[in-house]
Amino acid sequence: MKPRVVLLMVLGIILGPAYYAYCVYFSGRTGQTFALSERAERWVGPDGAILRFRGGLGYKPVPLTLAPEMNLVALRLRFDLPDSAPGNAPLELHYQATLFEREHTVLERAIRVTLATGRSRSADIGPLEIPYAGDYLFVLEEVGRFSQAPGVSLSIVERVESANMVVVWTGLSLLIVAFALQLHALWAGQRRHPNR
């Protein structure tokens, strides 16, 4: 492999997948963490409003105080299924996560998690920009009723970096060029030495 192809591949990986993974999974600072354990068909919110969950059960809503100095903010859910859980088959779990600011829906996301006994999975919601300081309410609803519910925790991740997609696409373009050059070199080598 020629040095310029290697250089293009290394640059492409750094600017593309590595940079994107850093922004999405590793940037930011984890702040408060909340354990979500209680589930019910309905909950009374901090403002007295009643939240009903017709299709399944909802976890007790979590009040959050968010402010612009935390931007960008991601909500990280962690699902844990203990070794003591019955059965060995992986569970296919579906959730609906919603962030409210008073009566307004700020963010809504469907989450699907495949979880095996003794394993953990994380899912990030966001990142989102908080325009002004205020009280928010996070609600996590099961879509369907789970006979076996995993342990769930919610973490607030502050100052998450948003990936610059121009940089990401530049990295991916460099990778494509590197692979094209390598394929061309292999094809040219086979033409020069057809009997090898």
158 or 48: whose pLDDT is higher? 158
Entry pTM? 0.76
- Average pLDDT on 164-173 reads 90
Taking the mean position of all CA atoms in its chain, how far away is CA 37?
A: 21
- Average pLDDT on 156-167 reads 89
Q: CA-CA distance, 135 to 66, in Å (whole number)? A: 7
Looking at 6-10, 112-116, 136-140, 148-152, which range is the least confident one? 148-152
Question: Chain-wide mean pLDDT for the chain?
Answer: 86
pLDDT in tens, 79-124: 998 776 666 678 888 999 999 998 889 999 999 988 888 888 999 8
Sign of CA dihedral 155, 161, 162, 168: negative
Residue 48, pLDDT score: 83
pLDDT in tens, 31-85: 999 999 898 889 988 888 888 887 678 999 999 999 999 999 999 999 998 776 6
153 or 102: whose pLDDT is higher? 153
> Phi and psi at residue 95, in whole multiples of 5°?
-135, 160
